[in-house]
Amino acid sequence: MTQENVDVLILGSGPAGYTAAVYASRANLNPVLYQGGQPGGQLTITNDVENFPGYPEGVNGPEMMMDFQNQAQRFGTDVRTGLATQVDFSSYPYKVVIDGQHEITAKSVIISTGASAKWLGLPSEDKYNGRGVSACAVCDGFFYRGQDVAVVGAGDTACEEATYLSKLCNKVYMLVRRDEMRASKIMQARVMNTKNIEVFWDTETDEILGDENGVNAVRIKNKKNGETREIPVTGFFVAIGHKPNSDIFKGYLDMDEAGYLLTKPDSTATNIEGVFAAGDIQDKNYRQAVTAAGTGCMAALEAERYLAEKELA
């Protein structure tokens, strides 16, 4: 196994990772960034981004992430392909194995591995992803103003998405697998008291339908009687949760029951000094590109401060 020593190692290449890289490289920390399993993060499966500052006409998601990457590389960030497959934070400096074959010893680690949306597993989800299928109403709801859309899910997130979309869309159909929701009572009440939200109980998504222009309907199936019907919609929002990409950090870093890394208040610091977490890996509330970028900035500044104090000690 090959070995290498670095000052700052950044894992992940979404807005958090690249922003951390910009700040770290401008501070002459010579960061090395590994892009992970999805280079560019979730924005690479988003067609249009209209809510990130600095893009008045909007921007294509993959194009935006290339802008992020080019900016980080302009200041000297060493951007590499590769996935962290193993870590050892039990002794300093910390060890991270990339693709099972390259060991990096790092004085500071910034984790920005993100969280992946959970999907239903339908082939049509992939087919129409970015063309009517989305996992983020706040990101994409604006494109469906005055249209009919569907939301699948039964938790607080699904209720929040449906309520948000109800303010933009003509009609919101909420598809719930059981005869009750998992959401909190207050969130359920908001849904039930919103006139343009219609809930289908005991309902599964059978197929997402569309053509070359994108989604135009969803075929649903009643679990009790097996009946199917098609609902005309132009947007289909999957809100069944996210899975933080944190498995390799178990046993080292504190995390909540869902696997989101826990950071100290007003900080990106984890329970291990010199290891910082930024972006969706530690944020289950906002999950926006701009908030991820903000925590990436924080992580780099904190890493710079940590390394400076380490040298003076």
* Whole-Å CA distances, 235 to 165, 169, 171, 217: 10, 10, 11, 8
The answer to whether residue 283 is catalytic is no
Q: Which residues of 59-93 are buried (b: 16+ CB within 10 A; e: fewer)?
A: bbbbebbeebbeebbeeebebeebbbeebebeeeb
Q: What tokens were used for 296?
A: 């990436």
Listed in sequence order, the residues at least 6 apart from 91 whose beta carbon sits closer than 8 Å to its beta carbon are: none
**Residue type (1 letter), 141:** G
Give helix 15-26 / helix 61-74 axis angle, nearest 10°.
Answer: 20
The answer to whether residue 139 is catalytic is yes
**Phi, psi of 54, rounded to the nearest 5 degrees:** 100, -5
3-state secondary structure of 293: helix
Query: In this structure, what DSSP letter does residue 225 have?
Result: T
Of 84, 69, 72, residue with least CA distance to 247: 84
The answer to whether residue 148 is catalytic is no
Listed in sequence order, the residues at least 6 apart from 51 whose beta carbon sits closer than 8 Å to its beta carbon are: 138, 139, 142, 288, 289, 290
3-state secondary structure of 121: coil
Q: Which of 7, 48, 78, 136 is catalytic?
A: 136
Q: Which of 139, 159, 169, 297 is catalytic?
A: 139
* Whole-Å CA distances, 10 to 52, 78, 80, 90: 22, 10, 10, 18
Q: What tokens were used for 309?
A: 């104090």
Cα radius of gyration (the chain): 21
Q: What tokens were used for 110?
A: 């910034």
Active site residues: 136, 139-140
